Amino acid sequence: MTTTAPAAAGSRPTGSWRGFGRLLRTEAAVWLRDFAAPFFGILFPTVILLGVGFAIPGMRDPITDAPETSVWYGLTPIATYLPTVLAMAVGTASLTVMPVTIATYREKGVLRRLSTTPMRPQGIVVAHLLINAVTTVVGAALALALGQLAFGLAVPEQAGVVAASFVLGMGALFSLGMLVAAIVPRASAGNAVAMSLYFPMLLLAGLWTPGPIMPDLLRQIGQFTPLGAAAQAMTMAWFEQGFPLLQSVVMVAWAAVLLPLAIRLFRWS
């Protein structure tokens, strides 16, 4: 029997990214086979927008009971609802879909199995961040397109700021989702934690009290939450002239605190 000289110790002290392209493609293909994840990640915002627009009376009638000088005057309620729905799209993918996927992988030992291969287990986390980020954008674009077709929406006052707020919202909410994904031991726990963050934040973001009819107290509290800040920043940029400075700072702060924490606390098994 021949003995071969062992590879030099420490020649590759960390895992590699070899095969990441295939990992991303395979994960995306497998992810799409599930019903729940693609539905909530892609279709849910559109379903909510169209559902609310068609089911609730008066959503498509222009607002005429506000003062004529108000930014809301002449807009349809469903148009003022759109920024909130876009924020919800970010929240759904980042808080409900992604953490549960990662927690399931942890529970089933997929992360652990991967760490026995040359692929870094971080690869699968990054893959799901990308998948969910792309589906969030696709889901939001779909809601925008179908909302425009169905109701005729308002043209944003500051389209660039709306887009920037959307991106900042993704940063804050995916950081929060990643923290949940980092620490929950099982899918069931992941789901419970995600839901207990998701629904209060939707309330504070004005999903049930959009734009003009939002109580001031909710607005005051909501602007400090990642989802509320995203919804308010997009609402302000869509219908007003001012820059949503406070909300932007809030979103950057959440991301700056939560993402390093998530990376630090991440459990592989």
Partner 1 sequence: MAEPIVEVRNLRKTYGDKVAVDDVSFAVEPGEIFGILGPNGAGKTTTVETLAGLRQADSGAVRVLGIDTQRHAAAVRDHLGVQLQEAALHDKITVGEALRLFASFYADPADPDELMALLDLTGHAGVQFGRLSGGQKQRLSIALALVGNPRIAILDELTTGLDPQARRATWDLVERVRDTGVTILLVTHFMDEAERLCDRLVVIDAGRVVAEGTPAGLVDGLEADRTVVVRFGADDAGRARTVLTDLAARHPDVGHVSDGATPGELVVTGSRRVLFAVVPALAETDLVPDDVRTVARSLEDVFLAVTGRQYDPQAGDAGAVTEGAHP
Name the site residues for partner 1 (rule: CB under 8 A): 1-16, 18-19, 21-23, 26, 29-30, 33-34, 105, 108-110, 112-113, 115-119, 269
Cβ-based nearer residue to partner 1, 110 or 218: 110
Cβ-based nearer residue to partner 1, 109 or 152: 109
| Pairwise CA distance, residues 218 & 204, whole Å | 6
Token readout for 114 is 């991967």
Cβ-based nearer residue to partner 1, 27 or 151: 27
At closest approach, how far in Å is the CB of 26 from partner 1? 5
At closest approach, how far in Å is the CB of 10 from partner 1? 5
Cβ atoms of 76 and 87 closer than 8 Å: no
At closest approach, how far in Å is the CB of 43 from partner 1? 19
At closest approach, how far in Å is the CB of 8 from partner 1? 8
Cβ atoms of 157 and 241 closer than 8 Å: yes
∠ CA(211), CA(216), CA(217), 5° rounding? 125
Cβ-based nearer residue to partner 1, 7 or 155: 7
At closest approach, how far in Å is the CB of 120 from partner 1? 9
Cβ-based nearer residue to partner 1, 23 or 43: 23
| Pairwise CA distance, residues 235 & 226, whole Å | 14
At closest approach, how far in Å is the CB of 265 from partner 1? 18
Cβ-based nearer residue to partner 1, 22 or 267: 22
CA-CA-CA-CA torsion sign (89, 55, 202, 166): positive
